[in-house]
Amino acid sequence: MGNRSSLLLREEEISQLQQDTGFTSNQIERLYSRFTSLDRGDYGSLSREDFLRIPEIAINPLGERIVNSFFEGDTGDRVNFRQFLSVLAHFRPVKKNKENKNNSREQKLQFAFKMYDLDNDNMITREELLAILHMMVGANIGEEQLSSIAERTILEADEDGDQKISFEEFCKALQRTDVEQKMSIRFLS
């Protein structure tokens, strides 16, 4: 009985995926194996429910937001392997002098910004910050304290005084943060 993933991915597909995502062929094969194990209906694609069966996503307070990131654009209600890899590429560690379209600092910041921009209007409001804080800490911190954190964050990041955080303001606020490291997952080689 052979490895199912190596039987279904052709060399030219792997080569194209390497170019598009920056993953090594070994990483692509391992991720394909994981992808096919999540595809319980054997459709060649994953549903939201398939993603929510991943224990790390199921227990993550932002799990629903993370799953939504796989379904942006024209993916419909299922995600194919190429779309799956494209989102995961945002979490590859950044290598010096070797940038990938899904893996630059700016791409990582855009991905993070979208996690906070609940209504997709390219602005983060106090209400959106508060909603994300509620997702992350639940009832562990009181409403007054959460409101204070959201207010202070808006006050510190909002440079134009519109009571919202634009992508540019978001980037500036995170200027000294090592986003490349914080948004990286070590994929097996």
Cα 188 to chain center, whole Å? 18
Tens digit of each residue's pLDDT (9 = 90 or more) over 113-127 = 999 999 999 999 999
Q: How many CB atoms lie within 10 A of CB 53?
A: 12
**Domains of the chain: which residue ranges?**
12-95, 105-181
Q: Is the pLDDT of residue 60 over 60?
A: yes
d(Cα 30, Cα 6) in Å, to the nearest integer? 9
For 57, the token pair is 């996503």
Cβ neighbours of residue 81 under 8 Å, at least 6 residues apart?
A: 32, 35, 44, 45
Query: Are 12-95 and 105-181 equal in CATH topology?
Result: yes
Task: Please give the mean pLDDT across all residues of the chain.
Answer: 85
d(Cα 100, Cα 24) in Å, to the nearest integer? 13
Who wins on pLDDT, 78 or 2? 78
Tens digit of each residue's pLDDT (9 = 90 or more) over 144-180 = 999 999 999 999 999 999 999 999 999 999 998 888 7
Fold observed for domain 12-95: Recoverin; domain 1 (1.10.238)
CATH homologous superfamily of 105-181 equals: EF-hand (1.10.238.10)
CA atoms within 13 A on the CB side of 73: 9
pLDDT confidence band for 6 (50 / 70 / 90): very low
Exposure b/e, 144-170, CB count within 10 A at least 16 = b? eebeeebeebbeebbeeeeebbbbebb
